[in-house]
Structure 1
Amino acid sequence: MAPTGPTLFQTMINQRGWQDYQVFKRRYEQAAKQLAELEGPPSISTATIEKRQFFRYAHGEVRTPQTVARRVLEFMFPGIPAARLLQPAQPLPDASPPHPTAGQRDAVEPSEYGLEDVVIAAADESARFAAKAESSNVGPHTLEQLEADIRRIVVSYPNRPVGPLVREVRSLRDRAFELLEGRQPPRYTCDLYVGAGVLCGVLANASFDLGRYDAAETQARTAFLLGELAGHNGLRSWVRGLQALIAYWGGRPADAVRLAEAGGAFTPESGTAQIRLESIKARAYGQLNRQSDALAALSTADRLRERLADGDELPGGMMAFPVEKQLFYASSTHLWLAGTQHLSDAEARADEAVEMFQAAPPEQQRLGEMSLARTDLAMARLGRGDIDGAATQIHAVLGVSARRRTESVDRRIGQFSRQLALHPGAGSPAAIGLREVIMAHQERTPAQLPPGGSQ
């Protein structure tokens, strides 16, 4: 076979430091086990790569890998078809001009990788080079880049589909873990623990949004451990709140109260984590029909909001607890408590929350939380007989859910549908039409973890 230059496979394993056969073999076998667990079949978990095959891939002696190898390679190098990995990293001199024009690059690169993948890959390569240029495995630039990546993820999370985000977060978490395995000054180790803990927290939240409560609890336990190792109250408090939410949505309100109270032992100097804990506790008390405790928790949350200090120990975004979110937690609490006055309070708070969520720029709207607030508002309006007003909110929720589906929103839609079926006006054309739309939504494929999901 005529020499073709290094394959894209060889270029990429060099960039990642996997050019040694034993190193790559270990990565390959780890990827095979993860792929078997997430997508199956289980037999893939035993897949490995022989030394001769490894070098054949690197030298371009294989055009199309076998099915199992193809799946493992595409899992290891997301977004790049296996066949492309085994082609030359750059076109041959006689195949195209050595320096393609901007128009040619635009015509070729997006069709092979997708423009966003090319941009992200280029930034990732630059960041890795800068990390290697520092004298130790971790330095100020490495931490700055990690913090910037984390901040971008937590800020964009509420507005992006959950499934595709998991792989990106998982990759960044793995990088943080790799850095922790190296040698660095203690002050950097603490920062890495916090960064890795935040990323595990994001994966826990994503697993929860996708209805994988077992995976969510595992990720949350790891996130809390990392918060413990760092001695970071903000992270520990936030994770306890997430664990309480998982218990609440899992139908374990007593556990939700216990976990929220445990989180109260870790008081950060600033931020909204404690307000969130009290609001979660209020909803759990409401589910337990403990009215006085629920209202007391709502009052405590209001008092904490009034004396909230500026700044936060966490990177904001999905980890912050803004006023509008506090309002819809209060609306959920009042819905649990029932009765005319509580129904009125629930509607007022949910309505205000929806208005505040809508006021954000479209690219910054917290879609899942706004959908839950709309569902609370629909439940309250249904409770006072306004089926048309409830339908307006549910149609808006279904529109968002079609592109950003989460398990908690699906569950609330199901609860609304059951309430609608029991309503005195269930036989009206508006009610029948609304239930048919909801049923069509429920028949669609539910939210799922993507390949390489939350582990």
Structure 2
Amino acid sequence: MERTGPTLFQTLINQRGWQDYQVFKKRYEQAAKQLAELEGPPSISTATIEKRQFFRYAHGEVRTPQTVARRILEFMFPGIPAARLLGPVPSGHESAPRHPAAEQHLAVEPFEYGLEDVVTAAANESARFAARAESSNVGPHTLEQLEADIRRIVDSYPNRPVGPLFREVRALRDRAFELLEGRQPPQYTRDLYVGAGVLCGVLANASFDLGRYDAAETQARTAFLFGELAGHNGLRSWVRGLQALISYWDGRPADAVRLAESGSAFTPESGTAQIRLESIKARAYGQLNRPGDALAALGAADHLRERLAEGDELPGGMMAFPVEKQLFYASSTHLWLAGAQHLADAEARADEAVEMFQAAPPERQRLGEMSLARMDLAMARLGRGDLDGAAAQIHRVLATSARRRTESVDRRIGHFTRQLALHPGAGAPVAIGLRESIIAHQERTIAELPPGGHL
């Protein structure tokens, strides 16, 4: 690029005494650390500038720096867009005297200010920095509204169809991302990280419910990263539980145990995330046919429930792990372990869970979880030969699934169908009628995201 004159960048660094490369590099790296602390992400703190790039900026050979460099330059020179900074000096702008060698290589020795000029320049720099630090795109009202929207979503998630809700959560997540890309005080940044992490966690759960396990794991990894950035144990613990749950349903019980144990390292001050982790471990150990470990995990979950502190670090709703959910996780564990006693224990716990789920008002019922508890109850009754009792639960599940369909419930229905075909009573009228109802349900088109939708 042909140079037409000094750049504003060159003029300003000469005025500030930063025209030596090593001096500017030090200032640049200090600014990168401050920017990472104030606005994030932390990775910016390690940014530096090469000597060749420094001279290219000064000589007008670069007009559009990369994103990180642009943010750091605009942080160093508040109020001046990078494109203007690296362009020619605006007409009427007084440039400071320069060393004779500055025209080609920049001065080796900094321009000497008088003491008064140095003090004034330092004061002006501090004032500009304070003005930038004080400005924010996020205030208490913005955060309050975001938190209210998140509470509404996690509270209504268990009772609403997944597809339409997915789009709503995605839009709110995008809003949280936009806020994070702006400028706010550090305490607000942490709250935004938590909010964005919760929303990515909800999207991970929704992707899982839609049968998109790969997408669910990607969303969960992002949610965990936000939990790390915020230093929020409740979020980290909950996300590890979700990752373990995805592994369990994906037929990888050893991974589920590993992830659940990893989540146990992040102990929140209150809440049910740790109870959930132990319950997921119990199911995974059951799938691995390790009855001792499975029963120990169930016992640990019961012990944690007894010691549960009031309150929760997370917004509740779908992210909470109530007693009824713990009961049906226990019923699933006993079904894996098999045998007459485990079958009886599975039926008792699933029956209690269903009663508790049903006791909630219709608009607050956890439909997917209640259906899975009914599936456990149906499997236990099928195991002891009660076809009528099993059929009653399956018909209720099919009716609920017509309203709110999830992949995990569909998988359990498929498993029940295979077990029913092997049952001694498979030729009975109630069994034949039940199979016909299941086939009709399976032939319905599964609700999907519209073409072009992304998880």
Q: Deviations over 1:391-412 (max 9, x none)?
A: 0000000000001000000000
1:408 counterpart residue number:
408
**Residues 147 and 195, structure 1, Cα contact 8 Å, conserved in 2:** yes
Q: Deviations over 1:171-210 (max 9, x none)?
A: 0000000000011000000000000000000000000000
2:51 counterpart residue number:
none
Question: Structure 2 matches for 1:305-344, cutoff 5 A?
Answer: 305-344=305-344
Distance 1:452 1:159 in 2: 26
Report deviation, 1:145.
0.1
1:137 counterpart residue number:
137
Partner secondary structure for residue 238 of structure 2: helix
Distance 2:371 2:433 in 1: 20
Cα 1:452–1:141 shift into 2, 3 Å: farther
Report deviation, 1:254.
0.4
1:296 aligns with 2:280: no
**Residues 170 and 453, structure 1, Cα contact 8 Å, conserved in 2:** no
Distance 2:358 2:451 in 1: 33
2:16 counterpart residue number:
none
Structure with more contact order per residue of length (Cα contacts < 8 Å, sep ≥ 6): 1
Question: Structure 2 matches for 1:105-184, cutoff 5 A?
Answer: 136-184=136-184
Cα 1:199–1:452 shift into 2, 3 Å: farther
**Length-normalised TM-score, structure 2:** 0.70
1:356 aligns with 2:356: yes
**Residues 167 and 450, structure 1, Cα contact 8 Å, conserved in 2:** no
Unaligned ranges ≥5, structure 2: 1-133
Cα 1:425–1:204 shift into 2, 3 Å: same
Partner secondary structure for residue 440 of structure 1: helix
Partner secondary structure for residue 138 of structure 1: coil
Kindly provide the amino acid, as one letter, of the partner of residue 175 in structure 2.
R
1:232 aligns with 2:232: yes
**Residues 331 and 347, structure 1, Cα contact 8 Å, conserved in 2:** yes
**Residues 407 and 447, structure 1, Cα contact 8 Å, conserved in 2:** no
Report deviation, 1:136.
2.3
Report deviation, 1:450.
3.9
Partner secondary structure for residue 402 of structure 1: helix
Kindly provide the amino acid, as one letter, of the partner of residue 168 in structure 2.
E
Q: Deviations over 1:311-332 (max 9, x none)?
A: 0000000000000000000000
1:391 aligns with 2:391: yes
Distance 1:301 1:364 in 2: 25
1:209 aligns with 2:209: yes
Kindly provide the amino acid, as one letter, of the partner of residue 216 in structure 2.
A
**Residues 137 and 182, structure 1, Cα contact 8 Å, conserved in 2:** yes
Distance 1:275 1:141 in 2: 34
Q: Deviations over 1:27-82 (max 9, x none)?
A: xxxxxxxxxxxxxxxxxxxxxxxxxxxxxxxxxxxxxxxxxxxxxxxxxxxxxxxx
Kindly provide the amino acid, as one letter, of the partner of residue 352 in structure 1.
E
Q: Deviations over 1:277-306 (max 9, x none)?
A: 000000000000000000000000000000
**Residues 283 and 294, structure 1, Cα contact 8 Å, conserved in 2:** yes
Distance 1:327 1:249 in 2: 18
**Residues 425 and 431, structure 2, Cα contact 8 Å, conserved in 1:** yes
1:256 counterpart residue number:
256
Distance 2:166 2:239 in 1: 18
Kindly provide the amino acid, as one letter, of the partner of residue 248 in structure 1.
Y
Partner secondary structure for residue 403 of structure 2: coil
Query: What is the total number of aligned residue pairs between the two structures?
Result: 322
1:62 counterpart residue number:
none
Distance 2:176 2:451 in 1: 21
Report deviation, 1:440.
1.1
Kindly provide the amino acid, as one letter, of the partner of residue 174 in structure 1.
D
Kindly provide the amino acid, as one letter, of the partner of residue 297 in structure 1.
A
2:370 counterpart residue number:
370
Report deviation, 1:446.
2.1
Distance 1:239 1:311 in 2: 19
**Residues 167 and 452, structure 1, Cα contact 8 Å, conserved in 2:** no
Report deviation, 1:443.
1.3
Distance 1:439 1:351 in 2: 26
Cα 1:452–1:167 shift into 2, 3 Å: farther
Q: Deviations over 1:99-151 (max 9, x none)?
A: xxxxxxxxxxxxxxxxxxxxxxxxxxxxxxxxxxx962000000000000000
1:185 counterpart residue number:
185
Kindly provide the amino acid, as one letter, of the partner of residue 328 in structure 1.
F
**Residues 256 and 281, structure 1, Cα contact 8 Å, conserved in 2:** yes
1:441 aligns with 2:441: yes
Report deviation, 1:452.
6.2
1:425 counterpart residue number:
425
**Length-normalised TM-score, structure 1:** 0.70
Identity of aligned residues (%): 89
For the aligned residue pairs, the C-alpha RMSD in angstroms reads: 1.1
**Residues 243 and 259, structure 2, Cα contact 8 Å, conserved in 1:** yes
Kindly provide the amino acid, as one letter, of the partner of residue 357 in structure 2.
F
Distance 2:217 2:340 in 1: 37
Distance 2:406 2:227 in 1: 27
Report deviation, 1:164.
0.3
Distance 1:369 1:166 in 2: 18
**Residues 335 and 346, structure 2, Cα contact 8 Å, conserved in 1:** yes
**Residues 350 and 376, structure 1, Cα contact 8 Å, conserved in 2:** yes
**Residues 346 and 380, structure 1, Cα contact 8 Å, conserved in 2:** yes
Distance 2:141 2:283 in 1: 42
Q: Give the greater-gyration-radius structure (CA).
A: 2
